[in-house]
Structure 1
């Protein structure tokens, strides 16, 4: 049945893109409760608690959809359904809360090598008026942000919002999200060239903040630049807490992965510092992990905690956030239960959607991978 999902080819030119897709959404087969899905975290990793909520362990509710090809970006439409991107195929999917799965279209001319391809997605905060979806993707020349309108169930022609972001085989960043201020935040990697993270005129190794039209957002450190913070190696997770503070999860090199509280104009030290450097020139991370325990990607906020997906670590981390903005008490769940975890997002109903990334060339996929797993925090 999956073979009938012919991809719509969208040819992305240097400055614009073209697109097409069907007007119907063909269902994709799924497994609601595969036999290998445990319903609880492993006992050795369950902190004492009431079995759910702020003090108890999270609970896996089941697989929402399966048989995906490296799902990467997830964001929610006003009707509660999610838009999901697949990094390697370029497909853009619509997933409902009851597991319905359909195709909205595809982005062509992506270069899905290494860590690159079709990455993050963000739904416009004014979607009901402008019907706009934003995507971060890798072409043969750069990384870029594009916008496309959703006409019913059909993805329209993408147009370039911001291009010229350095691209590489590794460290392409790729997470995009609208903040509480209505501006679009974009994470970029240093593409394997660490020096770019400290170059203020380069868009690599940064968190960018732009308007929906791609202009530097008002209030940026430099009014003529989209750069909001610098000194990042490869940020792939963004989340805001209840107080509107921005948090970011970041890949370390060989020693420490990081959770950072992002400050306007902050320099986070890479490559001069990995982890906590106690150097006044740089902002120290709030929490660090050995790289084998995390390799963090997605980040979400729910129930008074940050939730961070681990790729190499193959676990979901819960981190407490105090009212004063201090992160502490990282606790791991589901270690090695589902393999590599790429993205975690908070659904409109308060549940977490967690995607696996076992078909990215670095995992050991099961017949059901890749999947979206629903977790009750």
Structure 2
């Protein structure tokens, strides 16, 4: 598919279109180039074709590297959540079409598992995050009155369909914007969810609300043992719109968060801590609030999914249209973030580690804010280091 050329060169000044308001909601869909101040060579050198030919991004200062090993599948519509089955196949959700599709992890063949009942798409809501555990498929979705987490039985054999949704957690606030939506099981066996404050900023600081939070619960939706607030699924608060959660090799939880007009964030999440929204955005150095480990202008990121692989957090950017690598040393950054694939595949929604040091990357051009081209949307195979 045709993408605008990526501008390169030391000291290049690249004009960026800055949309006002929420970094996701203000997206114009215009292609971006390497951000001002990015390390030389951080943008990709060539675009992989829809047929799956490989391309590599030049590694900044000899640090990270991303190679597009190929395209697993294409022709997806508004893909959002991605989860791996035990046999290596993938499940992908369609936010707007309300469907779950099984994708063969080797051939890319797609099999529809059907429409999830009760989903009411609209704005930034619909069928979003997926997680798999013990024969259940968990889904974060927008319903008529709320956002909620449900689970459905799925045997995984040929011809199997998803079972009837069973509520796990209901009552998460919904809105036209900022619905959060990412879910994942942590190394402790508990289910975590990132939620948004729906544009009603006060919800983020209200510990009685499930909006603007990271939630931690048992697989059945009960408050998890050891949660910081007795009888509550709330794990951390003061978040604007969390769409990326992942754990590093030491079991630490990381989360990506949309800023408003100034800073998008990557946070190290600890139980009971306050991450500042709407009192602060980005690094503030104020007592009582946790500063992000890394931050970006909203035009360069608008982060959605994240994954941990090869000593770094990898973050998919929507409006930023690039894949960020944030190298870690324990709980700290060990170097400056590096950008790859800038502008090559458009908006990037979800990134998932495969457990062998590779990544799956889902594009997001058909979500009404992109500029779809032939083959959109797709799942890419990435080799990274």
Q: TM-score range by the shorter chain?
A: 0.7 to 0.9
The answer for the alignment partner of 1:167 in structure 2 is 174
The answer for the alignment partner of 2:148 in structure 1 is 144
Spell out, residue by residue over 1:9-38, the C-alpha distance to the aligned partner (whole angstroms, 9 max, x if none).
xxxxxxxxxxxxxxxxxxxxxxx9526976
Q: Does the alignment pair 1:84 with 2:92?
A: yes
The DSSP-based 3-state class of the residue aligned with 1:292 is helix
User: Structure 1-normalised TM-score?
Assistant: 0.86
The DSSP-based 3-state class of the residue aligned with 1:83 is strand
Q: Does the alignment pair 1:245 with 2:249?
A: no
8 Å contact from structure 2 (residues 240, 278) kept in 1: yes
Q: Which runs of 5+ in 1 are unaligned?
A: 1-31, 50-54
> Which residues of 2 match residues 100-179 of structure 1 at below 5 A?
100-124=109-133, 127=134, 131-151=135-155, 152=157, 153-179=160-186
- Separation of aligned partners in 1, 2:337 and 2:153: 39
- Separation of aligned partners in 2, 1:323 and 1:208: 23
The answer for the alignment partner of 1:352 in structure 2 is 359
- Separation of aligned partners in 2, 1:363 and 1:300: 23
Question: Measured at CA, do residues 37 and 189 of structure 1 come closer, stay the same or move farther in structure 2, by a change above 3 Å?
Answer: farther
> Which residues of 2 match residues 208-287 of structure 1 at below 5 A?
208-287=215-294
Using the TM superposition, give the Cα deviation of residue 100 of structure 1 relative to its aligned residue in structure 2, in angstroms.
Answer: 2.2
- Separation of aligned partners in 1, 2:128 and 2:136: 17
The DSSP-based 3-state class of the residue aligned with 2:97 is coil
> Which residues of 2 match residues 172-211 of structure 1 at below 5 A?
172-211=179-218
- The 4+ residue runs of structure 1 with deviation greater than 6 A are none
Question: Measured at CA, do residues 118 and 58 of structure 1 come closer, stay the same or move farther in structure 2, by a change above 3 Å?
Answer: same
The answer for the alignment partner of 1:94 in structure 2 is 102
The answer for the alignment partner of 1:57 in structure 2 is 65
**Number of aligned residue pairs:** 333
Using the TM superposition, give the Cα deviation of residue 280 of structure 1 relative to its aligned residue in structure 2, in angstroms.
Answer: 0.9
Of 29, 40, 54, the match for 2:56: 40
Q: Which structure's relative contact order is higher, taking Cα pairs within 8 Å and 6+ residues apart? A: 2
The answer for the alignment partner of 2:31 in structure 1 is none
Of 321, 330, 344, the match for 1:337: 344
8 Å contact from structure 1 (residues 245, 325) kept in 2: no
8 Å contact from structure 1 (residues 74, 345) kept in 2: yes
Question: Measured at CA, do residues 96 and 349 of structure 1 come closer, stay the same or move farther in structure 2, by a change above 3 Å?
Answer: farther
User: Structure 2-normalised TM-score?
Assistant: 0.84
Spell out, residue by residue over 1:214-273, the C-alpha distance to the aligned partner (whole angstroms, 9 max, x if none).
100010011200000000000000010001000000000000000000010010000000
Q: Which runs of 5+ in 2 are unaligned?
A: 1-47
Q: What's the Cα RMSD here?
A: 1.5
The DSSP-based 3-state class of the residue aligned with 1:40 is strand
The answer for the alignment partner of 1:299 in structure 2 is 306
- Separation of aligned partners in 1, 2:53 and 2:375: 10
Question: Measured at CA, do residues 36 and 364 of structure 1 come closer, stay the same or move farther in structure 2, by a change above 3 Å?
Answer: farther
